[in-house]
A and B are shown apart, each in its own frame.
Chain A
Amino acid sequence: MSTEAPVIGVLALQGDVREHLVALAAADAVARPIRRPEELAEVDGLVIPGGESTTISKLAVLFGVMEPLRARVRAGMPVYGTCAGMIMLADKILDPRSGQVTVGGIDMIVRRNAFGRQNESFEAAVDVRGVAGDPVEGVFIRAPWVESVGAETEVLAEHDGHIVAVRQGNALATSFHPELTGDHRVHRLFVDMVHANRATES
């Protein structure tokens, strides 16, 4: 396995990009913001941040990032989505806004804003499979949950009976925002996925 730090992009069309860049750097990756198709071609993995999923989806289509992104995810590039990023990685949204499309990559159906509006946003401890030690501090902000998953999708965490973290192959998604906590274990898990993928490709 290559020990050289992997280059991981953060889709920087809108959202909490900076926090992901900091978390990835703390997890020993070379992190950079990505807004254009040609920038996407240069990364070993990609994070789709939290933000407004309708806005990110529109801008991705408008600026020609959506199709190259789909192609790379289909080809097996490791990708991690938080909150809006989780919605972007869903093969299906339960109640999409008109014209809202996703990158896909995880066989699941997500419900947007499933935990409610901002007044219902909350913090809770979450046990995440594959993350050793104490539970992760889950920060849920107008968060989605996963209604159902396909046979190939592994459920990594649940909260209150709802699926809030999943993985299918090289695609990882959480309803909550580890990037807001200063605990970089989930990002480290993703960086390890990128390392492992590079090892199989080389």
Chain B
Amino acid sequence: MSSSLSENQAPETGTARVKRGMAEQLKGGVIMDVVTPEQAKIAEDAGAVAVMALERVPADIRKDGGVARMSDPDMIEGIIEAVSIPVMAKSRIGHFVEAQVLQSLGVDYIDESEVLTPADEVNHSDKWAFTTPFVCGATNLGEALRRIAEGAAMIRSKGEAGTGNVVEAVRHLRQIKGEIAKLRGCDNNELYAAAKELRAPYELVKEVAELGKLPVVLFSAGGVATPADAALMRQLGAEGVFVGSGIFKSGDPAKRAAAIVKATTFYDDPKIIADASRNLGEAMVGINCDTLPETERYANRGW
């Protein structure tokens, strides 16, 4: 009975299974960026599985410039009070004290996010040190596995947040899925070299080769603005989607939010996606990623 739980053991919190298991419960769902309790309620009423509480959506962070940091605890608590669905919040990359603060506030998931200005240009936070689970962004398989090695319990594509342009999210998801498919074809001899190339721990590389998927849930994020965008990401293999600026920077947020939820569930049914796409009002304007200077690309943050 050494490996299984016995009757006398105290309940155990913060295990890898409850952290990763939490993300499993979000699958097939939409996680929406919100900046006020009112927006959080709109998101919940529209069928969001969770909300991301932040002071400014990525489109505004882009516009305003300057250093983007963790949100005000009052603002996060206001959103926790307003809804019964899980609440996530962002810390800066490597800013483990912001993460400690978020854990103390009782958020359900911490996003160590490239959308905020990085606090450490070498190290990410040690996520095993926390009871609260973490989600991290990735542009490729090696990056995803390095984050998982640091304790991330969920991975999302980085995409290019705040642009309303899905092209980078597509690139990152295709990259991750393609690299997983390639690992599936490797024999045991090749996995060592693959781990070296991916700059990721051999054990995780081997696990991915065997499972044919990441050992944690994979969502898409960064640039989703329409129901069809959300369905596209799901058809490409994302298990759910984050929508940032796309909802509350559009003409009719409540309607668009509900439409994206529908299209995410019925991602393989073009008729339902068509119905969901009707009369949504204006989408967010959007930015062409190829005109975006390298220094303004959030996806380049994180290592």
Q: Smallest distance from the beta carbon of B162 to chain A beta carbons, Å?
A: 25
Q: Smallest distance from the beta carbon of A10 to chain B beta carbons, Å?
A: 11
Is the CB of A66 closer than 8 A to any CB of chain B?
no
Q: How far is the CA of A180 from the CA of B107 in the complex (A)?
A: 23
Decide if B18 touches A141 in the complex (CB within 8 Å).
Answer: yes
Q: How far is the CA of A2 from the CA of B28 in the complex (A)?
A: 35
Nearest CB in chain A to that of B131: its residue = A119
Q: Which chain B positions have C-beta within 8 A of A125?
A: 4-7, 9
Nearest CB in chain A to that of B213: its residue = A18
Q: How far is the CA of A135 from the CA of B11 in the complex (A)?
A: 13
Is the CB of A196 closer than 8 A to any CB of chain B?
no
Q: Which chain B positions have C-beta within 8 A of A62?
A: 47, 262
Q: Which chain B positions have C-beta within 8 A of A18?
A: 27
Decide if A141 touches B265 in the complex (CB within 8 Å).
Answer: no
Given A117-B106, A118-B86, A122-B11, is A177 in contact with B21 using a C-beta cutoff of 8 Å? yes
Q: How far is the CA of A194 from the CA of B4 in the complex (A)?
A: 29
Q: Which of A158-193 contact B (CB under 8 A)?
A: 159-160, 177, 180-181
Q: Which of A71-114 contact B (CB under 8 A)?
A: 83-84, 97-99, 112-113
Decide if A51 touches B49 in the complex (CB within 8 Å).
Answer: yes
Given A12-B28, A13-B28, A118-B108, is A54 in contact with B133 using a C-beta cutoff of 8 Å? no
Q: Which chain A positions have C-beta within 8 A of B266?
A: 35, 63
Q: Which chain A positions have C-beta within 8 A of B289?
A: none
Is the CB of B22 closer than 8 A to any CB of chain A?
yes
Q: Residue B13 contacts which of A35, A59, A120, A180 (CB distance < 8 angstroms)?
A: A120
A1-42 toward B: CB 8 Å interface, digit per residue (1/0)? 000000000001111111100000000000000010000000
Decide if A137 touches B5 in the complex (CB within 8 Å).
Answer: yes
Q: Which chain B positions have C-beta within 8 A of A152?
A: none
Q: How far is the CA of A80 from the CA of B123 in the complex (A)?
A: 45
Q: Which chain B positions have C-beta within 8 A of A19?
A: 24
Q: Which of B103-153 contact A (CB under 8 A)?
A: 103, 106-109, 131-133
Is the CB of B29 closer than 8 A to any CB of chain A?
yes
Q: Residue A139 contacts which of B18, B103, B107 (CB distance < 8 angstroms)?
A: B18
Given A52-B85, A59-B261, A119-B103, is A139 in contact with B21 using a C-beta cutoff of 8 Å? yes
Is the CB of A148 closer than 8 A to any CB of chain B?
no
Please report whether the interface of chain A is mostly helix, strand, loop or mixed according to DSSP: loop
Q: How large is the interface on B (under 10, 10 to 19, 20 to 34, 35 or more residues)?
A: 35 or more
Q: Smallest distance from the beta carbon of B101 to chain A beta carbons, Å?
A: 13
Is the CB of B67 closer than 8 A to any CB of chain A?
no
Is the CB of A50 closer than 8 A to any CB of chain B?
yes
Q: Which chain A positions have C-beta within 8 A of B10?
A: 124
Is the CB of A142 closer than 8 A to any CB of chain B?
yes
Decide if A118 touches B109 in the complex (CB within 8 Å).
Answer: yes
Decide if B18 touches A16 in the complex (CB within 8 Å).
Answer: no
Decide if B84 touches A15 in the complex (CB within 8 Å).
Answer: no
Decide if B27 touches A14 in the complex (CB within 8 Å).
Answer: yes
Decide if B48 touches A55 in the complex (CB within 8 Å).
Answer: yes
Decide if B49 touches A52 in the complex (CB within 8 Å).
Answer: yes
Is the CB of B189 closer than 8 A to any CB of chain A?
no
Nearest CB in chain B to that of A84: its residue = B25
Decide if A134 touches B18 in the complex (CB within 8 Å).
Answer: no
Q: Smallest distance from the beta carbon of B99 to chain A beta carbons, Å?
A: 13
With contacts A59-B262, A180-B17 known, what are 18 further pairs, Cβ within 8 A? Answer: A13-B28, A18-B27, A51-B26, A52-B29, A52-B85, A55-B48, A62-B262, A117-B108, A119-B14, A119-B103, A122-B11, A123-B5, A123-B11, A125-B4, A125-B7, A137-B4, A139-B17, A180-B21
Could you list 20 A-B pairs, sorted by A, with CB under 8 Å?
A: A13-B28, A15-B27, A35-B265, A52-B25, A52-B29, A52-B50, A54-B44, A55-B49, A63-B265, A98-B45, A113-B84, A123-B11, A124-B10, A124-B12, A125-B9, A134-B4, A135-B5, A141-B22, A177-B21, A180-B17
Residues of B within 8 A of A (CB): 1, 4-7, 9-15, 17-18, 21-22, 24-29, 44-45, 47-50, 84-86, 103, 106-109, 131-133, 261-262, 265-266
Residues of A within 8 A of B (CB): 12-19, 35, 50-52, 54-55, 58-59, 62-63, 83-84, 97-99, 112-113, 117-125, 127, 134-135, 137, 139-142, 159-160, 177, 180-181
